[in-house]
Amino acid sequence: MQFELINGTFDSKDALDILTQMVHIKIRHHENKITNDSSAEDIKFRDSKISKLQNELDRVRKEINASGGRVSLQASVNIAD
């Protein structure tokens, strides 16, 4: 099953807003999974994922800002059993 999440053209500010909110949701997901009972390995894994998301968002932000115009975004989620 495929779920189309985003499909459109946006001005750069709106595109950055959408992407930033999506990344922040994913970061909060990983932060919420870290508890006092989490193993050091799990914490390290989630910290790594958070860092990668932050770095990717920074890279995308720079690229979109450099474009200065409209940006096309397509994103879908594939759900498999």
pLDDT at 81 over 90: no
Residue whose pair of structure tokens reads 């096309």 in the numeric block: 72
Task: Tally the C-alpha atoms within 13 A of residue 34's C-alpha that lie toward its C-beta.
Answer: 15
pLDDT tens column, 12-63: 999 999 999 999 999 999 999 998 888 999 999 999 999 999 999 999 999 9
pLDDT at 68 over 90: no
Residue 13's region, left for phi above 0, alpha for psi from -120 to 50, else beta, is alpha
User: What is the domain range of residue 27?
Assistant: 2-78
Report the number of distinct structural domains present in the chain.
1
At 10, the pLDDT band (50, 70, 90 cuts) reads very high
pLDDT given for residue 9 in this prediction: 96
Query: In this structure, what is the dihedral angle of CA atoms 35, 39, 45, 48, given to the nearest 10 degrees?
Result: 60
By the 8 A CB rule, do 50 and 31 touch?
yes
